[in-house]
Amino acid sequence: MDRFVRDDIRNIAIIAHVDHGKTTLVDGMLKQSGIFRSNEKVDERVMDSNDLERERGITILSKNTAVMYEGKKINIVDTPGHADFGGEVERVLKMVDGVLLLIDAFEGPMPQTRFVLKKALELKLKPVVVINKIDRPDQRVNEVLDEVLELFIELGADDEQLEFPTVYCSAKEGIAKLDMEEESEDLKPLFETIINHVPAPSGYMDEPLQMLVTTIDSNEYVGRIAIGKIARGRIKKNQQVAICGREGDVRTAKVVTLYTFNGLKREEVLEASLGDIVAVSGIPDINIGETIADPQNPEAIPFVSIDEPTISMTFSVNDSPFAGREGQYVTSRHLRDRLMRELETNVSLRVNETDSTDSFEVSGRGELHLSILIETMRREGYELQVSKPRVIFKEINGVLHEPIEYLTIDVPEEFMGVVMEKLGVRKAEMVNMTSAINGYVRLEFKIPARGLIGYRSEFLTDTKGNGIMNHIFYGYEPAKGDIPERSRGALVAFETGEAVTYGLYNAQERGTLFIGPGTPVYEGMIVGVCSRAEDIDVNVCKKKHVSNMRAAGSDEALRLTLPVEMSLEQCLEFIASDELVEVTPKNIRMRKKILDCSLRKKGQASKLKGK
């Protein structure tokens, strides 16, 4: 039987390092393909629909959209650039036939570019290289193109993949050209390149249905929605189908509604066929990696293996003295149900029960992966406490191995020494050093994932905010030995109450404070970082002794330095192994695991004896 070619469709994914302009480019393509009415108000980065994505300017979840160009439909999948969301990238590449590899005209290929391109080349996808931000005054288009070619060769691209077309683009201005000397007013050259170079989907139209589920969405009215590309045959509304599970099991279900994508909307259709990217509702227990198939001939499509988690944390019910005051969902049942729900769509995540019914071990692809989940839960009204991130060790051939990250640092030359010194202590091994571009040096290291925990904020301080660091999972290597924890101790509240200026003034002589006057505190809560290596208990609730000679009002004369506000990521990086982060919808606090001061000291004394 002859293969059928759907020449009216192109399926592409946009892959790139974080912040190289993927989502802005999709905006331009949507606007220029006439998806929006002329008077319609359109947000910037219209594809980043989730609040966290908008705030941070990053893409977390892959998104589907489609544009029409001269009668042909281009399905576009916008993918995340962060290594922590690599699970998302790997899955969605199974839906497409080609990739737009987007690269910043100044920065060139970055660690994440390498990661996503490697995955795309392994799947034999056709690449189109788009050099973006050509309007930058410091662009270095020719050098960047050479770097891209080197990266393709290094990753083992075949001859066909090395013959990639190149488009020069400014997503911000909405222009594209095939030659830097050309004039251009729109993205037409980019659309033409996609149509001419990305293969149209092909396969067997009249054979039994096969569709791999690569993304799950949900909607309060219709429940779970399975999204994927039809690899073979046709699918119809109200059709009976077989669901092939990942363990080889088969069950039956019915397609209640069928949608295709048009712009940012889903359009209900009665039928779709080979090559279409569709969304299917009505199958309540469908999971990522399962195949929707013909009931008479249920054949599964092999699913891409997802990289294993490298970091784990303990999520537990909040048991601090302030527990239950600020959150809506506070019990272990709430926590368990929410984590189990997350597993349905977050394929790189693992959740394991622990000895305690109030605690769960949650493993993910990195600190950002887990902190995004914690922040999302906090905004949904959950209250919980989390431990310091720990790396996941593996035993390979009887030897203990640990996850290694490939770290790329761009830093002004003057800060090179301090960065190399700090990374040396963290067991980093330098792999490469590239001479300065505009006064910046690029340093590349292999470093244990443990060594990166807590380093980002130190790095920003050391480089006075001028350094850029990116890292990506490299592989497992034999464990590298001890890495020192935080070098400074914590200032710990001595009693429960409300922080006052007098108490804080005395405490700030011992270090840097995280709280200001009027902040409710409890015994064992961390209120600052100590200037020395040991923890110090401070009484921030202590009021000035009032006598005839001294008026209580003279507190105003005491000058407090501004407290340091800590974000969730900074708190996770800061805490030591005997500390926790308490997360509620209104506050993020740090605390000791053992709140009682005397019990804590007894514990430390017995530890020292044991040594």
Domain segments of the chain as ranges: 4-202, 204-293, 394-478, 490-610
- Res 92: pLDDT: 76
> Is there a shared CATH topology between the 204-293 domain and the 490-610 domain?
no
CATH number of 4-202: 3.40.50.300
Residues contributing to the annotated binding site: 19-24, 132-135
- Res 53: pLDDT: 34
d(CA 412, CA 441): 6
Helix locations, 85-218, DSSP H: 86-92, 111-122, 141-154, 159-162, 188-197
Q: How many other CB atoms sit within 10 Å of the CB of residue 100? A: 26
pTM for the model stands at: 0.68
- The four Cα atoms 188, 190, 196, 198 give a dihedral, to 10 degrees, of -140
Beta strands, E only, 274-393: 277-281, 291-293, 311-317, 350-353, 359-364, 384-387, 390-391
d(CA 535, CA 355): 30
Residues of the chain short of pLDDT 70, as ranges, are 1-2, 17-22, 33-63, 79-90, 111-112, 218-221, 264, 304-307, 345, 347, 436-438, 545-557, 605-611
Q: Give which of 93, 83, 111 is closest to 14, Cα–Cα.
A: 93
Per-residue pLDDT of 476-532, as tens digits, reads: 899 988 887 777 889 999 999 999 999 999 999 999 999 999 999 999 999 999 988
d(CA 522, CA 496): 4
d(CA 231, CA 214): 12
Instruction: Supply φ then ψ for residue 288, to 5 degrees.
Output: -60, 140
CATH class of this structure's domain 394-478:
alpha beta
Residue reference for tokens 């009002």: 553
CATH number of 204-293: 2.40.30.10
Q: Are 25 and 102 in contact (CB under 8 A)?
A: yes
| Sequence-distant contacts of 423-427: CB under 8 A, at least 24 apart | 423/447, 423/451, 423/455, 425/483, 425/484, 426/450, 426/451, 426/452, 426/455, 426/483, 427/451, 427/480, 427/481, 427/483
Per-residue pLDDT of 94-109, as tens digits, reads: 888 999 888 888 888 8
Q: Which CATH superfamily is domain 490-610 in?
A: bipa protein (2.40.50.250)
Residues contributing to the annotated binding site for GTP: 19-24, 132-135
